[in-house]
């Protein structure tokens, strides 16, 4: 793709790259009690001091929620009882509520959370060796419209707030035994992560803060995006060490326009140029995700074109054999086709892995379980059985995030 196209689209995707209006997100904060994580540590200190409490009480409250796994104020035994009662009157530990929890035979936990406005989001905890990997959602629904994806079927409803993103991690972490914690994060659930960049980075920075969060390494966090160039460059400018995964899914403009319709407004060249800039700025190798759809993008010519595209780049390809979605006309390639695709890339010197699928039996896929849970049904009723798809829901066990 020539430079002209890059320039042409550098500003064009702005409307694509902006998430739903801030008003929609703010509307979600309903109800009288604020979630604890909707306030920063500084805001908490101010709240305590205004009420005649020592500022260090703020740290105690946050420590109970973030590190000590409290899910109510009652167990916060080093706080005066009167303060706990006051906290309980004005705050709630979590603003989101677990309405569905399932565990797959391979140990993958899947939660559906209800937000305070009734909207539902999904998150997943995967266990592999010593890794405890959480896959997060960043939006309710998704506006990118990838034709093979369940999350985008009804479009995007709103961005998640930073505290709603954080709470996904804590709800899942609280399922782990006391001696274990979350080791890796992948932002590959429902939504286009970079369309909600500010809230996402606020949440991730807090999780990675030793002072205010879980002290996770930024290098163990992977942010997946369909490829919003201006947002990728903004993320690079923030000078973090988050790992970037670009959902490419096609090696040519024409095919990507068909599979990832938002590409028409962006252009493959602009996506790759922004990913190159991310690598140059951060020194972090970019991963390209590629969902393999039988007969659509899994042919030898596709693998050859993909290898040509990445030949001059220091990049890694993560192949994701498709898990079909009921009602969508795509199939998973057979093992021989997958092996052939891998061999063509390897022969041409491209670093490649095939994503392991976990949690299929519980529909651990972006938007899939949420879609099957009718909001009007009893939320404790399991969804009917069905096949899962996971173009995103992030089983990045083969990804090159650091140990």
Chain positions 312 to 371 lying near ligand SF4, rule: CB under 6 A, are 366
Give the Cα separation of 153 and 146 in Å (integer): 9
Least separation in angstroms between residue 370's CB and ligand SF4 is 11
Give the Cα separation of 37 and 19 in Å (integer): 22
Look up 135 and say whether it is catalytic.
Answer: no
Strands, DSSP E only, in 58-207? 91-92, 97-103, 109-114, 120-128, 131-135, 139-141, 156-159, 184-187
Strand 221-225 to 243-247 pairing: parallel
> Which residue in 17, 115, 122, 142 is the catalytic one?
122
Task: Rule CB under 6 A: choose which of 92, 138, 151, 357 binds ligand SF4.
Answer: 151
Strands, DSSP E only, in 255-314? 286-292
Task: Rule CB under 6 A: choose which of 124, 203, 226, 399 binds ligand SF4.
Answer: 226
Give the Cα separation of 141 and 118 in Å (integer): 14
Q: Determine contact, residues 322/148, Cβ cutoff 8 Å.
A: yes
Q: Considering only 81-89, 190-198, 338-346, 348-356, which stretch makes contact with ligand SF4 by CB under 6 A?
A: 190-198
Give the Cα separation of 337 and 352 in Å (integer): 15
Site membership for ligand SF4, residue 397 (CB under 6 A)? no
Enclosing H/E stretch for 315: strand 315-321
CA distances from 35 to 19, 90, 182, 354 (A): 23, 9, 21, 39
CA 374 to chain centre: 22
Site membership for ligand SF4, residue 149 (CB under 6 A)? yes
Of the two residues 121 and 190, which places its CB atom closer to ligand SF4 in the complex?
190
Task: Rule CB under 6 A: choose which of 319, 392, 395, 399 binds ligand SF4.
Answer: 392
Of the two residues 121 and 352, which places its CB atom closer to ligand SF4 in the complex?
121
Site membership for ligand SF4, residue 230 (CB under 6 A)? no
- Output the DSSP codes for 16-58: HHS-S-HHHHHHT--SSSEEGGGS-HHHHHHHHHHTT--THHH
- Output the DSSP codes for 59-98: HHHHHHHHTS--SSSTT-TTS-HHHHHHHHHHEES-SSEE
Task: Rule CB under 6 A: choose which of 228, 391, 396, 399 binds ligand SF4.
Answer: 391
Paired residues of 113 in beta bridges: 98, 121
Of the two residues 15 and 77, which places its CB atom closer to ligand SF4 in the complex?
15
Least separation in angstroms between residue 377's CB and ligand SF4 is 23
Least separation in angstroms between residue 260's CB and ligand SF4 is 7
Site membership for ligand SF4, residue 20 (CB under 6 A)? no
> Which residue in 135, 149, 208, 366 is the catalytic one?
366
Least separation in angstroms between residue 334's CB and ligand SF4 is 22
Of the two residues 153 and 398, which places its CB atom closer to ligand SF4 in the complex?
153
- Applying CB under 6 A, the site for ligand SF4 has a residue count of 14
Site membership for ligand SF4, residue 136 (CB under 6 A)? no
Task: Rule CB under 6 A: choose which of 20, 95, 152, 251 binds ligand SF4.
Answer: 152
Look up 146 and say whether it is catalytic.
Answer: no
Least separation in angstroms between residue 153's CB and ligand SF4 is 8
Of the two residues 92 and 368, which places its CB atom closer to ligand SF4 in the complex?
368
Residue keyed to tokens 């951060």: 282
What one-character DSSP code corresponds to residue 174?
T
Interface positions with ligand SF4 (CB under 6 A): 142, 144-146, 149, 151-152, 190-192, 226, 366, 391-392
- Active-site amino acid positions: 122, 366
């Amino acid at each position: 793709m020539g430079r002209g196209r890059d320039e042409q689209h550098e500003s064009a995707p702005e409307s694509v790259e902006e998430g739903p209006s801030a008003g929609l997100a703010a509307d979600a904060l309903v109800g009288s009690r604020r979630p604890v994580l909707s306030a920063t540590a500084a805001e908490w200190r101010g709240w305590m001091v205004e009420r005649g409490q020592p500022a260090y009480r703020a740290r105690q409250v946050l420590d109970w929620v973030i590190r000590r796994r409290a899910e109510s104020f009652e167990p916060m035994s080093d706080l005066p009882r009167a303060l706990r009662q006051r906290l309980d009157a004005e705050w709630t530990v979590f603003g989101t509520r677990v309405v569905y929890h399932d565990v797959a035979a391979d140990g993958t936990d899947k939660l559906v959370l209800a937000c305070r406005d009734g909207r539902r989001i999904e998150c997943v905890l995967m266990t592999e060796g010593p890794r405890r990997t959480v896959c997060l959602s960043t939006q309710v629904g998704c506006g990118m419209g990838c034709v093979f994806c369940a999350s985008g079927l009804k479009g995007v409803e709103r961005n998640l707030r930073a505290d709603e993103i954080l709470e996904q991690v804590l709800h899942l972490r609280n399922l782990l035994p006391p001696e274990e914690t979350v080791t890796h994060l992948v932002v590959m659930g429902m939504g286009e992560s970079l369309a909600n960049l500010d809230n996402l980075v606020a949440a991730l920075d807090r999780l990675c803060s030793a002072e205010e969060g879980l002290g996770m390494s930024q290098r163990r966090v992977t942010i997946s995006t369909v490829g919003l160039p201006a947002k990728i460059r903004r993320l690079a400018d923030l000078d973090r060490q988050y790992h970037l995964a670009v959902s490419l899914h096609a090696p040519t403009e024409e095919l990507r326009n068909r599979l990832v319709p938002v590409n028409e407004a962006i252009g493959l060249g602009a996506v790759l140029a922004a990913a190159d800039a991310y690598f140059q700025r951060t020194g972090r190798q970019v991963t390209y995700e590629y969902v393999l759809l039988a007969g659509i993008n899994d042919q030898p010519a596709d693998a050859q074109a993909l290898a040509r595209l990445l030949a001059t780049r220091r990049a890694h390809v993560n192949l994701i054999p498709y898990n079909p979605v009921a009602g969508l006309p795509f199939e998973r390639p057979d093992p021989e086709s997958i092996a052939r695709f891998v061999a063509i890339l390897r022969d041409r010197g491209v670093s490649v892995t095939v994503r392991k699928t976990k949690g299929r039996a519980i529909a651990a896929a972006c938007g899939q379980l949420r879609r099957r849970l009718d909001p009007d049904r009893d939320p404790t009723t399991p969804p009917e059985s069905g096949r899962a798809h996971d173009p995103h829901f992030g089983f990045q066990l083969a990804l090159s995030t650091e140990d």
